[in-house]
């Protein structure tokens, strides 16, 4: 794990090492950013969308294969209803306003998370975005919405248990590969690098299974202030790491 801080004297410095192919981001700090400006939390979430647009562009420039973002967790339903409504409105706005540009730039969109609890308008937009961009291969943008790592593991366990009861799978046939086939992320690589903004140093139920050997980078920068140089510093920090995956 590591914490990074902005250092303009090193902003042009590059590090030798392997690039991550899959980067995941916990976009934290929107509320604190808005509070510091005496504005409602949704103002920070709006600013966070602008930061996301920039980082998607960065990921394309760095030839990142998958960019996964934590947009709305299964625990976020505990937030005030007006904030929840605002987050849902932002998802709709993002898809409606950015879908054409993302598609033109070769971005494939996938929405990961439970569909239960989402209204028909949201479900229709999700289907539209995934269908329109399904053949794009420049970058896969995975939006974790109504997502929780524990919920994903639980859902996979239930699906496997159902198949065991029906005789489709035998208990001694269950291995890691079998389990991963029943996750929402089946077929995708695990994140090489997970970035969390705004100073907290925890995963907060994000990609619990997939993060087993992810490199973690934390920064004090609030998400709306997260810029190209911050993304570059996280990439450079990753490139310094020695990844052994349990070996020597």
* Pair 136, 103: CB distance under 8 Å: yes
Helix (H) or strand (E) holding 208, with range, is none
184 is a catalytic site residue: no
State the Cα–Cα distance between residues 171 and 54, nearest whole angstrom: 46
76 is a catalytic site residue: yes
Looking at 12, 30, 61, 76, which residue is catalytic? 76
Looking at 7, 12, 28, 120, which residue is catalytic? 28
* Pair 195, 25: CB distance under 8 Å: yes
Residue 39: count of CB within 10 angstroms of its CB: 13
State the Cα–Cα distance between residues 128 and 234, nearest whole angstrom: 33
In sign, the C-alpha dihedral spanning 32, 37, 41, 43 is: negative
Alpha helices in 4-80 (DSSP H): 30-35, 41-61
> What is the DSSP secondary structure assignment for residue 4, as one 8-state letter?
E
Q: Which residues contact 149 (CB under 8 A, 6 or more apart)?
A: 203, 205, 206, 207, 208, 209, 211
* Pair 20, 238: CB distance under 8 Å: yes
Which active-site residues does the annotation give? 28, 76
């Amino acid at each position: 794990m590591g914490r990074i801080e902005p250092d303009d004297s090193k902003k042009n410095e590059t590090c030798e090492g392997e690039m991550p192919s899959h980067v995941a981001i916990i976009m934290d700090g929107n509320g604190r950013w808005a509070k510091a400006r005496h504005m409602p939390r949704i103002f920070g979430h709006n600013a966070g969308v602008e930061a996301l647009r920039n980082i998607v562009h960065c990921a394309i420039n760095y030839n990142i294969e998958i960019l996964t973002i934590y947009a709305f967790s299964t625990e976020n339903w505990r937030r005030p209803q007006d904030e929840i409504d605002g987050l849902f409105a932002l998802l709709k706005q993002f898809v409606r306003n950015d879908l054409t540009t993302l598609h033109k730039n070769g971005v494939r969109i996938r929405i990961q998370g439970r569909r239960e609890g989402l209204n028909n308008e949201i479900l229709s937009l999700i289907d539209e975005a995934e269908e329109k961009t399904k053949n794009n291969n420049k970058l896969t943008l995975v939006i974790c919405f109504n997502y929780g790592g524990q919920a994903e593991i639980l859902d996979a366990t239930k699906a496997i248990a159902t198949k065991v009861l029906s005789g489709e799978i035998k208990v001694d046939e269950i291995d890691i590969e079998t389990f991963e086939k029943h996750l929402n992320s089946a077929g995708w690589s695990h994140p090489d690098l997970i970035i969390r903004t705004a100073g907290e140093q925890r995963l907060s139920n994000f990609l619990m299974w997939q993060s087993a050997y992810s490199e973690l980078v934390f920064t004090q920068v609030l998400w709306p202030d997260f810029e190209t140089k911050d993304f570059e510093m996280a990439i450079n920090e990753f490139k310094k790491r020695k990844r052994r995956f349990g070996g020597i």
